[in-house]
Amino acid sequence: MAVDWLGFAYAAAIALGGFVGYKRKGSVMSLIAGLFFGIWSAYGAYKITYDSYDYWTSLTASGALAVVMGMRFRKSGKLMPAGIMTALSLLMVFRLLIL
C-alpha cells in the first residue's frame, strides 16, 4: 500500500492555485473551483493509496480540469494559470492511464 504522493501534491497545487487566485484577484469562483477540484483530487489520491486499481476518481477529476483549463488557455493564451494547470492535469491523466 503505497501512498499516492504525486496525487496529493497535485491536489494541493490545485487548492493552492484557487487560493492564490482569490487573494490576488478577489475571485471567489477561483477559490470555489480550486477547493472543489482539490478535494476531489485528494479523495482520488486517497482511493489510489488503498487500491491502485481504483483510479477513476482521480482520472475524472484531472480530465475535467484539463478540459476546463485547456479551454481557458485556448481562449486567453495566458500561460499562468490556465496553461500550467492544463499541463499538470494532462500529465496527471497520462500518469493515471499508464498506472
Q: What is the pLDDT of residues 25-76, one digit of tens each?
A: 999 999 999 999 999 999 999 999 999 899 999 999 999 999 999 999 999 9
pLDDT of 16 > 70? The answer is yes
Residue pair 96/59 in contact by the 8 Å Cβ criterion: yes
pTM: 0.91
Q: Which residues contact 89 (CB under 8 A, 6 or more apart)?
A: 62, 63, 65, 66, 69, 70
Distance CA 28, CA 9 (A): 23
In angstroms, the first-to-last Cα distance of the chain is 14
